[in-house]
Amino acid sequence: MDQALTITLTVNGTQVTRSVPARQHLVDFLREDLGLTGAHLGCEHGVCGACTVRVDGDVVRGCLMLAVQANGCRVDTIEGLSDSKELEKLQKAFHEKNALQCGFCTPGMLMAAQELVLQKRKVSREEIRSHISGNYCRCTGYQAIVDAIDEVING
């Protein structure tokens, strides 16, 4: 029998209170309990980066954090950052540079890339590659993704 715990957190600016099983990870909670299916579930052991979300301002793996650990936290997902237009420039650049094909990795890729954008400094392509090294894309070969991020950061 799963232990149920009550958690209260702020998801994309809205406070929610739910009862969750101790073993449920954050991305399953977001997808199944809140219907926020933008964060994807790929490998489920922290390798692919498709489940990347932001917790208290830092990007994290949604599959490597329990929902109960997000109690009291501020969680932002691709849905929230799209609606707030925070990702507008990145999304436009991804579109223009053809930086996605199937799109499965894209929400995680945008979340990870935005963390680099927020550092507000010039970065080399090498640093961009290093920063997104934890996000796997099986379609593009990364070149176009790096182009898109490079354009937003370095103009």
Partner 1 sequence: MKAPSFAYAKPRTMEEAFELIERPGAKVLAGGQSLIPSLNMRLSAPELLVDITGLDALKGITLEQGVVRIGALTTHAALERSPEIAKHVPLLAEAVRHVAHPAIRNRGTLGGSIALADPAAEYPACLAALEATIAVRSKDGERLVKAEPFFKGLFEVDLRPGELVAAVEVTAQLKDERSVFLELARRHGDYAIVGLAGIKTQKERRLAFFGIGAKPVVLRPGSLEAAKASLPMPSADLYHTAATKLHLAKVLLERAWTRL
- Name which of 136, 142, 151 is nearest 48 in CA terms: 136
Q: Are 43 and 52 in contact (CB under 8 A)?
A: no
How many Cβ atoms are within 10 Å of 57's Cβ, its own excluded? 10
- Distance (Å, rounded) from C-alpha 138 to C-alpha 155? 26
| Min dist. Cβ of residue 88 to partner 1 (A) | 22
Q: Are 97 and 148 in contact (CB under 8 A)?
A: yes
| Min dist. Cβ of residue 43 to partner 1 (A) | 9
Per CB under 8 A, contacts with partner 1 among 9-38 are 21-23, 25, 28
* Per-residue interface string for the shown chain with partner 1, residues 66-105, x marking contact by CB under 8 A: x-xx------------------------------------
Per CB under 8 A, contacts with partner 1 among 41-70 are 44-46, 49, 52, 58-61, 63-66, 68-69
- Interaction of residue 131 with partner 1, rule CB under 8 A: yes
| Min dist. Cβ of residue 125 to partner 1 (A) | 13
Q: What are phi and psi of 55, to 5 degrees?
A: -125, 120
- Distance (Å, rounded) from C-alpha 12 to C-alpha 75? 6
| Identity of the residue numbered 111 | M
Q: Which residues bind partner 1 (CB under 8 A)?
A: 1-3, 5, 21-23, 25, 28, 44-46, 49, 52, 58-61, 63-66, 68-69, 112, 115, 129-131, 133-135
